[in-house]
Structure formats: C-alpha cells, structure tokens
Structure 1
Amino acid sequence: MPRPYPVRRRVVARRRTAVALIAAGSMTLTSLLVGVSSGPAFASSHREAPLISNDPAADNTDVYAFVSPDKPDTVTLIANWAPFSEPNGGPNFYPWATDAHYDINIDNNGDAKADLTYRWDFRTEDRRGNNTFLYNDGPVTSLDDPNLLFRQSYTLTLFDRPNGRTTVLVNNGRVAPSNVGPASIPNYGVLRNQAITAVPGGGQSYVGQADDPFFLDLRVFDLLYGGNLSEVGQDTVAGFNVNTIALQVPKSALTLANHPVRNPVIGVWSDTERYSITLRSPGSQNSLGAEVQVSRLGHPLVNEVVVPAGLKDRFNSLLPEQDRTIPALVNKVTHPEVPTLIQRIYGVPAPATPRNDLVEIFLTGITTKSGDQLNVDLNSQLNNADVNPAQFAPSEQLRLNTSIPPTAQPNRLGVLGGDLQGFPNGRRLADDALDISVQTLEGAAVTGLVPALARVDSVDQNDKPFGNVFPYIALPNNKAVNSPR
C-alpha cells in the first residue's frame, strides 16, 4: 500500500538531475560544456551520477511541462526513464521496475514541497515460463494479442497533500511494450493509442516506449566541440529510445486552490524511489525496507555539469526543500563553471559573479518579487495571488506559468527567443534545451543572445517529428543505432 506521502530518506542517492540549486546556473549548459566526462554520452540527465548509471530502469532522463497545444485548458507533463535504450536490446528489452515508484511532483505554493504527487507503480505478467526466451512469439497487433508474452500494467495514485487525500486514479493501466522490431510489431502507433488511459476529471495517461525527444551533439567532451566548434551537427541520441510517462490533466487540477486564473504558476519535478534493501538468492531477489529516492529531475543538464562529482549521488537523494541548505550546490548557481570554460577555450568573456540572474531563473522563478534582476514577472509561485511569501523557499524546479497560451509559431530558443511559452518557462519537446542553457549561462537573459554562440552544437531539432496530439512524443525506433540510417 503506498504511503500517503513518500518518505524520502537522505540515504542512498543514486540518481539524477533535479539539481537543486545547483542547477541554476551551471545546470544545463554545464552538462554540455564541462569537459569532464565520466563515460559515454551524457544527454540531459542520462547517466549523470555514478550510482544511477548502474540502474537505468530508475534513471530519470528528462522532464517536460507545457500547456497542451491542442487542449489549452490542460497541462501535459512528460517524464522519461531508461536512457540510451538501443532498439535491438532483446531478449528482455526495457521493462519498468516493479520494485520502484515513479513520481511526478507539483509544488503550487512555492514552499519547495510536493503539494501533489502522481505515482505510477508497475506489475509484470510474464507468460514465457520455461517454454521460450521470446518477448513475443508472433506479430503483435494489439495489447491483448496472445503473441505478446511479456506484459506490464500500472496503478496511478494521486497524493493530495493539502487535503490529506490519497486517490487511485487508474487501477489497471496498460503499458505499451518495447518496440521489438517491424516483424514483431508492425504498427506501434496502434499499441500506443490502446495504452492511452482516461484519468478521472478529464485527463489521460500514457505509459510506454518512445523515441528519446532530447537532441544535442555530445562531442562537447572533445574540448567543447573540438575547441573551434568544428565538431557539431550530429544528434548523438538519435535512434535511441526511452521509457515514457505522459500525463495530461486540466490546469485546475494542478494549480493552487484549483484556481488557474489567480494562481497560474506551478513547479514540476520527477523522481524515482526504490526500496532500500535488496535481498538476493540464486535466481531471485526481493526488495524491502524504507523507500529511498534514487533519482530526481527538474531542469535539464543540472546534475551532469553543475553538481561536482562528490555530490552527484547525494543530489539525487535531495528533496527540493533541502537544496538551499547545501552551500556547495548553491555556489554552483551563483558561480557557474561553464562560462569560465567557454572563456578559456573560445575567448567569450564570462559574466561577472555572483549570478543573481541564474538564481532567479533556476531557484526562485522569474519574478520582480524576489529582486528585479530580470525585471519581469513570469513563472515564480510568488506571482500566485494566494501564496504566502513567508513560506516561499528557493529550490530547483521546472516552473510553468499555465496562463500563457500555446504559441502559434514556437521559437526553439523559448523565452530567450521571445517565446514566453518555452523553456525555461516550463519545457516543450521541441525547445532547444542545450542552446538555451548555454546562452542563459552566458548571461543572455540580461544582455541578449551571445552571437558567438548562436548555434552552439548545430543540432536544432529532434531527428523525428513530434505529434500534434497527446502524448506528442515520437514513436520509438525499431532500427539498430549502429546500422546505416
């Protein structure tokens, strides 16, 4: 039975990205520009900390939050897990962990605590037994197809903290399987549509596989794109898949006092919790004990490049309310490392520190009520009419002003490109998080775009187009990443 509210201990931290204040300045860009890598690619928050890199099923890679373009009275929240899922990764492919909680959290009053937690818990039905090693033993044309031998389902629970309520929203949601290949799954779109489940109150939930929507060139680790921006233009995560949770709900379900007009701003982050003890015996294992947060994600590219190596695992265990209590993390927002690297390699002068603009963008939300560094009210919970300023706490969250309608012609640079519906006001799938983050770290929110870094990695869009209706993400790939494309 799920706890009425997750008890997230500060114990083991394996995970991820929510970068607490760390995120602020060095956060996104850092992930890219820091030439100190620890392994294969680090996209957004893929394999960003030592412990979580060994636990891909719990590794939360990206969070997106945006007003739904085709249903502007709703908000869509998307969170991804299992980075670098190579399409040909059989025979077991990429199941959701059944001994973990997958959460999307909402803070609508600015106290850095989750007012709402949407939690997905998974179950597995494995029909293979001792008969076969195959994931499916024939073409799969529906989620009920007897050829589909490995199946998962989920329970979606809402923890409503202010009202002290726990509500099961979906009791037996169906999961779209991994995309085994064109012979096994001739039309994945059919399966995805069948996996979209109605949520009481006018919402819908999708759980399944998708093309990784993050896009960037990871050759940043070769002296920041070769030291002269000659090594750019290759989408390093093209062809890989992720496990996706997408939730669409009315704005009123997420906003303070259910009033999106008076209180339009929400803060969003996701996390993964595991049980703290795993008992292994030959051929089996059992998980028990306290629930421990092992992954956390708000803004992209925070834990990878902002958080120092010695704090990466701990950061994944932190709650947003703890962010401001870790001076070493806060310092990485006010004194980010990426601008000094860019100055050293490319000669672009680093902005003067301390970076109060980054504090506002990543820790408080953009508002004149916390100081007028950016001189505009955009996406801080302090702008909500019913928020008590005395309870407000700076923390790393992805903040969204739900009152800003969808843009007819979105700009990939979001707010920096004059499109107030884009990142860092929430995050849409097509927002160029890398370029925005680099420009932000270089002070573009104050001084305007830096021409010398106009294209950064020269990867400006995803390799596959996004959809126009929920869940918006592209269908998962079924062709090997290392094959000719």
Structure 2
Amino acid sequence: MNLVEGPAGRRLLAVAAAGLAAAGVASLAPMQGTASSHREAPLISDTPKLDNTDLYAFVSPDAPKAVTVIANWQPFEEPNGGPNFYPFATETAHDINIDNNGDAVADIVYRWTFRTSRQNLKTFLYNTGPVTSSVDPDLNVRQRYTLQRITSHSTTTLLKDAVVAPSFTGKASMPNYAHLADEAVTPFAKGTAKSFAGQADDPFFADLRVFDLLYGGDLSEVGQDSLKGYNVNTIALQVPKQDLALNNNSAANPVVGIWSTTSRAGASMRSGGASSLQQVSRLGNPLVNEAVIPLSAKNQFNAAKPADDAKFLPHVLRPELPTLMQAIYKIPAPTTPRDDLVEVFLTGVCKACGPVKADLNSQRLNRDVKAAKFKPSEQLRLNMKVAPAAEPKRLGVVGGDLAGFPNGRRLTDDVLDITVQAAEGILLPDPPDAVATLGDGVDANDHAFRSTFPYVALPNMESVNQS
C-alpha cells in the first residue's frame, strides 16, 4: 500500500478531513444537538441511555499488533446524579460493527448485552457502605454482561457474566475507584484480547457554543470545555488486527470500516432473535448526524443501515457549513458539488475511488476486496497498517499525522478544530488567512488519558458546577 506522505500527504489529509468536516458540522446554527453526536436526534434525545455519543478506533499504542475500539453511551452524566446513577441499558444490544470488504454490511459484530441485579430492595442506596471490589456486599446495584462475536456463519460467546465497573458515587463510597475500573478489564481469547465496560470521564473535548451562531457570530465564545466534568458509559474492545481483517489477513487487507449501534427490544421481542431488535442509534464519524443530517432525517439516519446511505448523498455534495461561514465571517465557500467529499466521506480515500488520487483508508485497498461489490457508506475507516505516531498531533491528518482522524480516531484528536478548519480549506490552494485561526480554543481533554487499555480517564467525582 502506498500511503502519501510529506506535503502532498498533508494536503490529501486536509481534504479527507474536509469531507468529514463538511459532513460533520454542516449546520452549526442553533439546533437540537450538542457535542460529537451527543443528543443529536429528537427521538434519541428522549432516551439518553440508548444514545451513542462517540466512537474511537486506533492501533493500540502500547500493543501495536492490536486495534482498540471505544464506544460511549449516555451523554452528560453528572457525577452526583444519584440515587440511580447510570447503569447500561438492559434488553438492548450495544454493537460494534466491522465491515472489512466494503460492501456496507457488517462482517463482524461484537455485541454487549447487560443485566442488572440488586442485592437489597429495601434501601434506596446504590451502595450501602464503602465498596472495595465488584463483589463487595455493600455494592447494592451491580451489572454484568455477555459479549458475543457474530458473523454470518456463527455466533460465539466470548465472555459471560463479565463485570461492569459501577458508577463512581464518590470517594467515601469508593475510596479506590481505579481498582474497581481495573477489575472490569476482562481478558479473553487466551489473553490476546480485552474488554471493558464501565463509567469514564467523557473523552470528547470541545466548546459547544459553536451551536450559538458559530461561537456568537464573532468568535467571542471560545475556550470553554463544555464536556468538562461530565462522565459517559464506555465500552472498549482490544483485539488482534487479524480478528478484524478480511480473511484474517491484516497485512493484505488492513482497512476496516467501523460503526457502533444501539438496538432495543421491539414489539416482537418475545419471538427472540436479532430480527426482533430495532436499531435506534448509530455512530461512525463524529458530528455526522449531529449536524450534516437535517432535522427531518435525523431519526431516519439513526435507524438506517450503511447500505442505504445513498439517500443522504445530497447533504455531502452541498454542505451547509461553508455557506454559513461565508455569510457570518465572509470566508468564501468552496465550489459545489463536492465530489471529493463523496470519496472521503462515503468511500474512504484511494486512487481508484474518485478525484482524490492517493491511497489512505478505503476498503478497496484491501487485496481480497471485490471492487464490483464495494458500496459507498458512512463509516469510521481505519488503516491498521499505519503505525501509532510517536508524538501524536491533535489535528491528526490535517497536521500531517496519518495515524489520526479521519484515519480512525484517537482520544486526543481535536475533531472539532479539524472539521472546522478543513471544511474551510485550510490546506487547499490559497485559503483565506482567517481559516488558520479558526478553532474553539479547547485543544485537549481536561484529564490525561491512561497509557494502557482502556485508555479513557477515570470518571469525574466532583459536581459539574464545581469542576
């Protein structure tokens, strides 16, 4: 595979980010939605427990033969939101979907399903004393899960009754929460893979006043991390690259497409089986349903399969953000239709895919993919052959770092700055000088990420209004 590097590579990656940027922040006027697909559609806003908030995928920096995928649910968890706090939804499929042959259909589904038990029904308390382990008798509300790997050929149970890290109820209740989180890291497949489920600090960082007429109409509203202090429910998976690759050959077939979904029991749940589940939330690249999809289609997108994404093509061809930027900040909008964005957003980047003549992260780069069966669709695409960066750059591909967004997404990638700047053509020929100054003034998460799996920071304990 010939990955473009140097100045040409940076220009390519800017275009790649522009595709996702234009798609991701295409209507930044006041609207229903905040953050990276936090509360992005009317129906899912009413059921936050089922809401996918973010998806990350990257080659594991401390285990480069493996890939880590992190998916988050339930936005804006205030740490002191008791007495029920924030359990994962039950009777619900939390799925990470993998498409390794580019036909817009999941070839592999990793599915987490949760169950809840309560030790003492005579108390309102989440815990009745200091909790020192997942089986501590003082932990009243407990969750466990089953993890399955589903393909068209078989369903394999990878874990059963695995421990979920509880919500962090405070230092008095959980004096060593790091230990509880470590207990929830569960190895499987003879130790070659790991799973985690539990609460974590929300890793997304951004000033969400972008929705107030693009930071107040004069960029006066920047520099405030709107997610600071909030938690999310996190599922993390680390598996060897070959487990995801087409024909289990990550050297010949290194590109995979990834998206997460939430599906809940429908009216026919009593009949059992996957056909009785109704998909209610979907997330690939950040900010897509948040902003590119109009209000009339947001619920439809959450329920749609990637194979049906052609219906959303007009919103990619004519993104709204550049028009808004031109009207508010007098930055000229690029000419439409944006055929280059179609390649980046729906196919991944490759020389055979469209006008961006470089190879980066399309499944068509996989040796064993049949081009005739390739179908454009919205996915977070990761080229597993790109090694982790020794010094990751927060602007990812816009900054010349091939290991960052939109080639997958790392926890440290500043996706809002990438999308805004790249959508306005930061690396296109002769962009207006103002483009390079665009950003939200929030360049990193307020907590350092952990250096080992599951990488996310431990959950916040202080009230948001004090953090």
Place the TM-score, normalised by the shorter chain, in its bin: over 0.9
Distance 1:36 1:194, change over 3 A: same
What is the alpha-carbon distance in structure 2 between the residues aligned to residue 399 and residue 383 of structure 1? 12
Q: Secondary structure of the equivalent of 2:325?
A: helix
Among 242, 249, 255, the residue aligned to 1:252: 242
Normalised TM-score (structure 2): 0.92
User: How much is the aligned-residue C-alpha RMSD, in angstroms?
Assistant: 1.9
Provide the residue aligned with 1:148 in structure 2.
139
Unpaired runs of 5+ in structure 1?
1-22, 280-287
Distance 1:289 1:91, change over 3 A: farther
Amino acid aligned to 2:386: I
User: 1:54-78: per-residue Cα shift (whole Å, max 9, x none)?
Assistant: 1111100000000000000000000
Provide the residue aligned with 1:410 in structure 2.
392
What is the alpha-carbon distance in structure 2 between the residues aligned to residue 234 and residue 359 of structure 1? 33
Distance 1:140 1:451, change over 3 A: farther
Provide the residue aligned with 1:429 in structure 2.
411
Amino acid aligned to 2:391: Q
Deviation at residue 289 of structure 1 after TM alignment = 8.6
Deviation at residue 278 of structure 1 after TM alignment = 9.7
What is the alpha-carbon distance in structure 1 between the residues aligned to residue 316 and residue 163 of structure 2? 41
Confirm whether residue 136 of structure 1 aligns to residue 130 of structure 2. no
Amino acid aligned to 1:263: N
Among 198, 209, 228, the residue aligned to 1:219: 209
Distance 1:260 1:448, change over 3 A: farther
Among 151, 162, 169, the residue aligned to 1:173: 162
Confirm whether residue 339 of structure 1 aligns to residue 339 of structure 2. no
Amino acid aligned to 2:253: N
Distance 1:114 1:448, change over 3 A: farther
What is the alpha-carbon distance in structure 2 between the residues aligned to residue 278 and residue 394 of structure 1? 31
Distance 1:159 1:289, change over 3 A: closer
Provide the residue aligned with 2:25 in structure 1.
29
Provide the residue aligned with 1:479 in structure 2.
462
Distance 1:381 1:450, change over 3 A: farther
What is the alpha-carbon distance in structure 2 between the residues aligned to residue 448 and residue 70 of structure 1? 39
Among 181, 196, 199, the residue aligned to 1:192: 181
Deviation at residue 445 of structure 1 after TM alignment = 5.7
User: 1:389-424: per-residue Cα shift (whole Å, max 9, x none)?
Assistant: 000000000000000000001111101100000000
Among 238, 245, 248, the residue aligned to 2:228: 238
Provide the residue aligned with 1:18 in structure 2.
none
Deviation at residue 362 of structure 1 after TM alignment = 1.2
Quote the sequence identity (%): 56
Distance 1:212 1:450, change over 3 A: farther
Among 424, 439, 443, the residue aligned to 1:460: 443
Amino acid aligned to 2:145: Y
Deviation at residue 151 of structure 1 after TM alignment = 0.1
Q: Secondary structure of the equivalent of 2:276?
A: strand
What is the alpha-carbon distance in structure 1 between the residues aligned to residue 77 and residue 427 of structure 2? 35
Among 310, 322, 327, the residue aligned to 2:308: 322
Normalised TM-score (structure 1): 0.89
Note the 1:30-109 alignment, pairs <5 A: 30=26, 34-38=28-32, 42-109=34-101
Provide the residue aligned with 1:375 in structure 2.
357
Distance 1:136 1:449, change over 3 A: farther
Distance 1:449 1:350, change over 3 A: closer
Among 280, 290, 304, the residue aligned to 2:276: 290
What is the alpha-carbon distance in structure 2 between the residues aligned to residue 365 and residue 203 of structure 1? 27
What is the alpha-carbon distance in structure 2 between the residues aligned to residue 218 and residue 294 of structure 1? 24
Amino acid aligned to 1:35: A
